[in-house]
Amino acid sequence: MLDVQKVNDTKQRILSMITTAGPSFPAKISRETNISPLFVGALLSELVAEQKLVMSSMKVGSSPLYLVKGQEQNLEKFTQYLNSKEQEVVFRLKQIQLLDDSAEDPATRVALRKIKDFAIPVSAKVDGEEKLFWKYFTLGELEANSILQKADKPKKAQKEDKVEEVEEKKEQIKEIKQEIKKEVVKETQELKEEIKQEKSEKRKAKKTIEKEPSKFVNSLKECLSSKNIGIITELLLKPKEYHAQVKVDHSLGVQEYLLIAKDKKKLTEDDLAIALHKAQEHKMPALLMSKGDLDKPAQAYLEQWRNLIKFEKLKS
């Protein structure tokens, strides 16, 4: 049985690892700590909720990076996982430090809005007009303001500088393109293994769903029907376990849940943590159903996360 002290020790172990080694993703943490990926994901979610970790916008495969506040500059090491246009914009923004949104082409403007870890939006008045700029995330506010003040000059003065600025930008873009060719590397073996593992799990889940429903699953579906809980998509079908996206019609409207039903005599805190993590992957709350009861740690966990996970006992 998973006890609270063990969970806290494991969370501290993960936090210490990221503090020492820098930003990391769940699959790597799982391998280095020898903890199951699902449980690692649940603990990382708790550390983010406790504001001990922050989560990146960029993804390594299908997972974000987790880091301690203050390690943001280390995210530059993972720009290879961005697409080629986003990499180009990151390197260009790093060189120039500040970009005028209205002066960029549509593809660059889209990329700037996606690289949230590196591009910070800044509003400023230029010639009396409110304009949107993007600053590189390491550029300080005082430096950004100084650049923006230079931009807010009379139009005549701007024209005098324009030719020189265009030539400088051309040279900078040429250097950036050369740097991109050197910086872009092949996808790492760790990422390939993670994608391969995800595909394997999806194939296994599909095969499982094709099996004949067990007595437990048939009984569960009858219960769902009686409670007006509609099944949207079946995700996992085993003799003693069933996963599906479902919808419940509340007085305030329809609410979707990730349903996880288990034929167990006793549910533990670990069962709830895994259910919550799976639901968060689908961006919805969890609904856990079982004929068994919750042990005391599981009851405490349910109370702590009652807004994100619901439990309902099935009739024997």
The CA–CA distances, whole Å, from 304 to 1, 29, 221, 300 equal: 18, 25, 29, 6
Per-residue confidence (pLDDT) for residue 206, from 0 to 100: 59
In the chain, the amino acid numbered 65 is L
Mind listing the pLDDT tens digit for each residue in 235-244?
999 999 999 9
Cβ atoms of 207 and 299 closer than 8 Å: no
For residue 6, the model assigns a pLDDT of 84
- Reduced to 3 states, what is the DSSP secondary structure of residue 131? strand
Q: In sequence order, which residues have a C-beta less than 8 Å from that of residue 241 and are 6 or more positions away? A: 260, 261, 262, 263
Q: Are 66 and 19 in contact (CB under 8 A)?
A: no
- State the pLDDT at residue 106: 92
DSSP string, 243-278: EEEEEEEETTEEEEEEEEEE--SEE-HHHHHHHHHH
Condensed to tens digits (0 to 9), the pLDDT of residues 27-40 reads 999 998 888 888 88
What are the structural domains, with CATH classification, of the chain?
4-77 (1.10.10.10), 82-155 (1.10.10), 204-313 (3.40.1350.10)
Q: 98-117: per-residue pLDDT in tens?
A: 999 989 999 999 999 999 99
* CB-CB contact of 74 with 66 (8 Å): no
- Does pLDDT of 246 surpass 90? yes
pLDDT at residue number 178: 77
- Kindly tell me if the per-residue pLDDT of 195 is higher than 80: no
pLDDT at 184: 63
Tell me, what's the pLDDT at 156? 45
Query: Residue range 203-225: average pLDDT?
Result: 76
Amino acid letter for position 174: K
Residue with tokens 């006992």: 313
Q: Report the candidate in 279, 280, 261, 273 with the shortest Cα–Cα distance to residue 298.
A: 273
By DSSP bridging, strand 309-313 and strand 286-290 are parallel
